[in-house]
């Protein structure tokens, strides 16, 4: 996963201050690799809607990044720093019933959507997953939207635009949406971050109209390019993070 930028906003002192894509992090591939675990609750009888799950996962990543335990001398701070110094990997697994209840006993944060429930955990080494999470399945996250999703969103609402030319499972798309939210976060000023946090990290996830994808992905807004570990080809542009504050600087 990577970010693509064409605009120079270095004059804003707090922008991208914690981004691993700054020059001092060019060796991130050689750093120890960590992964951010996310678990979505999918009960057989009442699975969440796909878009609700994607939006909740994106918000969960932002909640983790702003949790006091992820900063300074907090309990998660070193793991978060190590994770951000390497590739920003995220893996979404599913749980239900007793599996979900066990997952909730581990340190983390559960974020609620309309019906979706996503629990995000502090980063772990690639081969160091807690046993309660390691046994959960990655497959089986093929969710649908039972009702049509409104194409039009509020002008001031951040939108994470999915590439209309890619076919991704809901779990893969949840991880990609989380990447996009994180890229947008890195590019915001402290005041812009505070405003987003105060809103409860309101955002929308939508599939971009095919006729707009080239414009969006070439606009200078943050673009997620997948590393190609699963489902899609390396370097594929998956999501554009269209935050109004970033759009205003183009």
DSSP secondary structure of 81-131: HHHHHS--EEEEEEE-HHHHHHHTTSS-EEEE-SS-EEEE---EETT---H
pLDDT in tens, 80-116: 999 998 888 999 999 999 999 999 999 999 999 999 9
- Picking from 176, 177, 56, 43, the residue whose alpha carbon sits closest to that of residue 111 is 56
Compare 25 and 42 and report the one with higher pLDDT.
42
What pLDDT does residue 16 have? Answer: 41
pLDDT in tens, 183-220: 999 999 999 999 999 999 999 999 999 999 999 999 99
Instruction: State the residue for tokens 């269209």.
Output: 242
- Picking from 161, 241, 221, the residue whose alpha carbon sits closest to that of residue 5 is 221
Q: Looking at the predicted structure, is the pLDDT value of residue 6 above 80?
A: no
């Amino acid at each position: 996963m990577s970010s693509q930028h064409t605009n120079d906003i270095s004059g804003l002192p707090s922008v991208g201050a914690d981004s691993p894509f700054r020059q001092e992090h060019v060796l991130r591939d050689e750093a120890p690799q960590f992964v951010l675990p996310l678990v979505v609750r999918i009960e057989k009888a009442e699975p969440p809607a796909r878009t609700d799950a994607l939006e909740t996962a994106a918000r969960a990543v932002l909640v983790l990044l702003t949790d006091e335990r992820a900063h300074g001398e907090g309990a998660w701070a070193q793991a978060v720093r190590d994770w951000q110094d390497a590739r920003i990997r995220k893996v979404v697994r599913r749980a239900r019933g007793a599996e979900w209840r066990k997952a909730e006993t581990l340190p983390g944060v559960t974020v609620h959507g309309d019906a979706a429930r996503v629990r995000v955990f502090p980063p772990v080494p690639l081969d160091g997953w807690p046993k309660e999470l390691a046994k959960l399945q990655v497959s089986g996250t093929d969710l649908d939207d039972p009702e049509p999703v409104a194409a039009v969103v509020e002008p001031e609402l951040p939108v994470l635009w999915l590439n209309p030319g890619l076919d991704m499972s809901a779990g893969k798309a949840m991880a990609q949406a989380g990447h996009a939210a994180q890229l947008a976060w890195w590019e915001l000023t402290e005041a812009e971050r505070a405003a987003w946090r105060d809103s409860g990290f309101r955002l929308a996830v939508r599939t971009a109209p095919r006729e707009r994808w080239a414009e969006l992905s070439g606009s200078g807004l943050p673009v997620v390019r997948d590393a190609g570990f699963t489902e899609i080809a390396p370097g594929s542009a998956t999501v554009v993070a269209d935050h109004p504050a970033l759009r205003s600087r183009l």
